[in-house]
Amino acid sequence: MKKILHFLKNKRGPVTVLVLALIGMLTGYVMSHMSKLGLCLHPFYFIEYSDCGNSKIFQVGAPIGSLSLSLLTTSIMLFFAKKEVFKSWLWFGIPMGLFFVAWIFSLSVSPGYLSPRYTAADFFSILFPILSFVVIVYKSFKLQKKK
């Protein structure tokens, strides 16, 4: 147990990224599946609200879920990186992630999964871990050359 706590203490940054990714995935799933989860029932009449789980909530929830999945993948990669690599990734990851989110939510939304917002979210959820991997590997090799 002490070894696990020592490991988590040394990997505080990647654990934080992992927790944020899991919270985002849970939020995205709940927002995307409100009616399936029974969250749309009126508390007294047990009938479903007419606008619960509407497309506006789904249009926010689905991209959040897919982007959080890419953050989860990145956090798993960061568990194997050194602290210096994590710090340099933060300088890449935070601005790039904020840019992706701002750009995705500025896109128009049309019904269905082929809307520009869903397509961009899926594209960036694949691109973000790949770019993160490149940054992590580059910084790791750069640190090894210094030693």
| pLDDT at residue 94 greater than cutoff 70 | yes
In the prediction, which pLDDT does 133 show? Answer: 93
63 to each of 26, 27, 51, how far by Cα in Å? Answer: 12, 11, 20
Residue 13 CB coordination number (10 Å): 17
Q: What is the mean pLDDT of residues 81-101?
A: 86
- Tell me what the pLDDT averaged over the chain comes to: 78
Its pTM stands at: 0.74
pLDDT tens for residues 28-73? 888 777 767 666 665 555 555 555 655 666 677 778 888 888 889 9
| Burial label, 60 (beta-carbon count in 10 A; 0-12, 13-18, 19+) | middle
Half-sphere exposure of 65 (CA within 13 A, CB side): 15
- Describe the crossing of helices 83-106 and 116-146 by its angle, rounded to 10 degrees: 160
Q: What is the DSSP letter of 79?
A: T
Q: What is the mean pLDDT of residues 120-133?
A: 89
Q: Are 115 and 143 in contact (CB under 8 A)?
A: no
Rounded Cα gap, residues 75 and 25, in angstroms: 13
In the prediction, which pLDDT does 131 show? Answer: 92
